[in-house]
Amino acid sequence: MNIRILTIEDYDAAYSLWKSSQGIGLRTLDDSETGIRKFLERNPHTCFAAEENGELVGTILGGNDGRRGYIYHVAVKASFRDQGIGKSLLEATEKALIQEGINKSALISMKTNVGGNRFLKACGYPIREDIVYRNKDLNSENT
The secondary structure of 71-107 as a DSSP string is EEEEEE-GGGTTSSHHHHHHHHHHHHHHHTT---EEE
Contact status, residue 46 vs residue 6, Cβ threshold 8 Å: no
Stretch 38-61: mean pLDDT: 98
The pLDDT of residue 142 is 87
Does residue 138 lie in a domain region? no
- Split at pLDDT 50, 70, 90, the class of 143 is confident
User: What's the pTM value of the predicted model, to 2 decimals?
Assistant: 0.94
Burial class (CB in 10 A: 0-12, 13-18, 19+), 76: buried
pLDDT in tens, 2-20: 999 999 999 999 999 999 9
Give the chain's domain count. Answer: 1
Contact status, residue 83 vs residue 50, Cβ threshold 8 Å: no
pLDDT in tens, 24-38: 999 999 999 999 999
Does residue 48 lie in a domain region? yes
Name 112's Cβ contacts closer than 8 Å, sequence gap at least 6: 22, 23
Sign of the alpha-carbon torsion through 94, 49, 22, 27: positive
Does residue 141 lie in a domain region? no
Boundaries of domain holding 41: 2-122
Q: Say yes or no to pLDDT of 89 above 90.
A: yes
Q: Say yes or no to pLDDT of 84 above 90.
A: yes
Does residue 24 lie in a domain region? yes
Does residue 139 lie in a domain region? no
pLDDT in tens, 54-73: 999 999 999 999 999 999 99
pLDDT in tens, 90-141: 999 999 999 999 999 999 999 999 999 999 999 999 999 999 989 899 998 8
Does residue 80 lie in a domain region? yes
Does residue 129 lie in a domain region? no
The total number of residues written for the chain in this structure: 143
Does residue 131 lie in a domain region? no
Stretch 70-82: mean pLDDT: 97
Q: Residue 83 maps to which CATH number?
A: 3.40.630.30
